[in-house]
Structure 1
Amino acid sequence: MTPTNKIALVTGGSRGLGKDMALNLAKKGNHVIITYNSQQGAAQEVVSAIEKQGLKAAALQLNTGAVEGFDKFVEALKSTLQTTFNATQLHYLVNNAGTGVHQSFATTTEAQFDELVNIHLKGVFFLTQKLLPVIADGGAIVNVSSGLARFSTPGYSAYAAMKGAIEVLTRYMAKELGARGIRANIIAPGAIETDFAGGTVRDNAQVNAQIASQTALGRVGLPEDIGSVVAFLCSDDARWVTAQRVEASGGMFL
């Protein structure tokens, strides 16, 4: 595939859904920058996989829940854009990085709630805000929600509330950034076989089977079911798609 020479930034791209998003963006011909929190080795493996496709890639450390570190990250990003990609702007931002808390509404602690706010809401809001000068006009933003913002599964009240907030925020991004030709959409995965929440969906056969039985397509999702949808939203094929929630859940709990 002929490279488009466009550059995508995927937060939390060292593993799970973020890794597959990064690899699928590369398949579309995009150069890719990923961030990682602590797994530098895994991040470098993703970079190497992308480079083997004949594209450029880089990995930067970022704690998306620590707003005070965003200015330093933006400076590192600008430097990387210049030195690795001979560029000053990126075209696509995928706000994927996240963590989960499985706790009942009655027992969720303030510390757990604050962690989710910082990573899934405050972090996404202010990282995107600080990156606005770096995102090219005509670019695209993809935020990540969850099927849990549509259906209710006990134990995810705080997590799902953050995702509901991000869905509203995405519409505002689309409205306010539309003048620059920047599209903003949100993808909502269903249950996916990753290490999320301790890998329960992937490793617990009973949980896996139960979810599959409640899914129209008859199985649990895989990371590769999500990355290709993100790559589509970050492409000219989706040039007239903005402010949309795209659920990729195989039809969970219809």
Structure 2
Amino acid sequence: MADRLAGKVALVTGIGSGIGQGIALRFAAEGATVLGCDINPATAEATVAQAAERGTPLRSLHPIDLTRPEDARRYVQAAADEYGRVDVLVNAGAIPPHMAGVGEMDYETQWRPTIAGEVDLVFLACQAAWPWLIRSGNASIINFASVNSYRGSRHLAMVAHCAAKGAVLSMTRQLAVEGGPHGIRANSIAPGLIQTAATASAGLASGDIAATVTARTLLGRLGVPDDIAWCAVYLASDEANWVTGAAFGIDGGVTAA
């Protein structure tokens, strides 16, 4: 079914790669008016070019650093000025977390940047977009938790990442509570290990860790961005008009077994 998002103005952060890129491209293909953003101008431009080649264009504002309140406000205001509305906010952007154990993690250079890069930027984008989402009257916020919102890791020291993604999960529930009277739905997606440039550069998309995670899935493979994008399409669409405060585990069954 095409055009599931026709008539909707969607903000999608982190469109330069991975899940954000997959969602931006899929939303545009489903008829949404997409304004993306990324901190990296080169990768954002590459996504814009890819969308144009597919005949489903989207726009991007970059560079945008969503850990800066003024950048979050500038991004949302650009959509408001151009389109006069915001119907969907997808907080797919994040700064790669620092992986260290509690005993080794430095508070200033590792803990705080991880929390800012995975929690603060979600809050700031939601806060900036909130008045426009209220005006929509039928709005959707989609945030990203993780399987590590529910479980720790024996293979990687990730205390800050687990804390951050647990915070996003809880924050999204509260956004659903506060948004309900205004017609704002807020849901989270908790992906398993997804094959992206970021996970590849971190050595997670291949080798022993990838093999271990793959063996733990019920479907025998790692995820790809489009696996997540299809869930986001549903949550942004009118098909999900009675869905809020929910967490969708898209992880190949890792948390089921």
- Fold shared per TM-score above 0.5: yes
Give the match for residue 94 of structure 1: 90
Which residue of 104, 108, 123 corresponds with 2:105?
108
* Paired letter, 2:86: L
Residue-by-residue CA offset, 1:208-246 (whole Å, 9 max, x unaligned)? 211111111111111121111111111011111110010
Give the match for residue 216 of structure 1: 218
Q: Distance in 2 between matches of 1:251 and 1:23?
A: 25
Residue-by-residue CA offset, 1:100-156 (whole Å, 9 max, x unaligned)? 222122111112111122122222112211111222220100000110111111411
Question: Relative to 1, partners in 2 of residues 1:156 and 1:249: Cα closer, same or farther, differing over 3 Å?
Answer: same
TM-score norm. by structure 1 comes to 0.90
2:249 corresponds to 1:244: no
Give the match for residue 44 of structure 2: 43
User: What is the CA distance between 1:178 and its match in structure 2?
Assistant: 0.8
* Paired letter, 2:97: G
* Paired letter, 1:104: G
User: What is the CA distance between 1:24 and its match in structure 2?
Assistant: 1.5
* Greater mean alpha carbon deviation, residues 147-156 or residues 11-20: 147-156
* Paired letter, 2:100: Q
* Paired letter, 2:113: E
Aligned-pair Cα RMSD in Å? 1.8
User: What is the CA distance between 1:68 and its match in structure 2?
Assistant: 4.1
Q: Distance in 2 between matches of 1:69 and 1:30?
A: 23
Conserved? CA contact 1:140–1:184, under 8 Å: yes
Q: Percent identity?
A: 28
Question: Relative to 1, partners in 2 of residues 1:56 and 1:137: Cα closer, same or farther, differing over 3 Å?
Answer: farther
2:152 corresponds to 1:149: no
1:31-180 matches, within 5 Å, as 31-38=33-40, 40-61=41-62, 62-79=64-81, 82=82, 87-98=83-94, 99-110=96-107, 111-135=109-133, 136-153=136-153, 154-180=156-182
Q: Distance in 1 between matches of 2:20 and 2:45?
A: 13
* Paired letter, 1:69: D
* Paired letter, 2:84: T
Question: Relative to 1, partners in 2 of residues 1:228 and 1:18: Cα closer, same or farther, differing over 3 Å?
Answer: same
User: What is the CA distance between 1:42 and its match in structure 2?
Assistant: 2.2
User: What is the CA distance between 1:28 and its match in structure 2?
Assistant: 1.9
TM-score norm. by structure 2 comes to 0.89
Conserved? CA contact 2:193–2:223, under 8 Å: yes
Please give the secondary structure, in 2, of the residue aligned with 1:173. Answer: helix
Give the match for residue 192 of structure 2: 190
Q: Distance in 2 between matches of 1:50 and 1:181?
A: 30
2:236 corresponds to 1:234: yes
* Paired letter, 2:245: A
Which residue of 24, 28, 35 corresponds with 2:30?
28
User: What is the CA distance between 1:53 and its match in structure 2?
Assistant: 4.9
* Paired letter, 1:236: D
Conserved? CA contact 1:10–1:22, under 8 Å: yes
User: What is the CA distance between 1:16 and its match in structure 2?
Assistant: 0.6
Conserved? CA contact 1:8–1:30, under 8 Å: yes
* Greater mean alpha carbon deviation, residues 166-175 or residues 114-123: 114-123
Q: How many equivalent pairs are there?
A: 246
Conserved? CA contact 1:192–1:201, under 8 Å: no
User: What is the CA distance between 1:201 and its match in structure 2?
Assistant: 2.1
User: What is the CA distance between 1:19 and its match in structure 2?
Assistant: 0.5
Q: Distance in 2 between matches of 1:211 and 1:9?
A: 31
Give the match for residue 201 of structure 1: 204
Conserved? CA contact 2:97–2:117, under 8 Å: no
Please give the secondary structure, in 1, of the residue aligned with 2:101. Answer: coil
Runs of 4+ residues deviating >4 angstroms:
52-56
Q: Distance in 2 between matches of 1:207 and 1:126?
A: 33
Conserved? CA contact 1:4–1:30, under 8 Å: yes
Conserved? CA contact 2:48–2:60, under 8 Å: yes
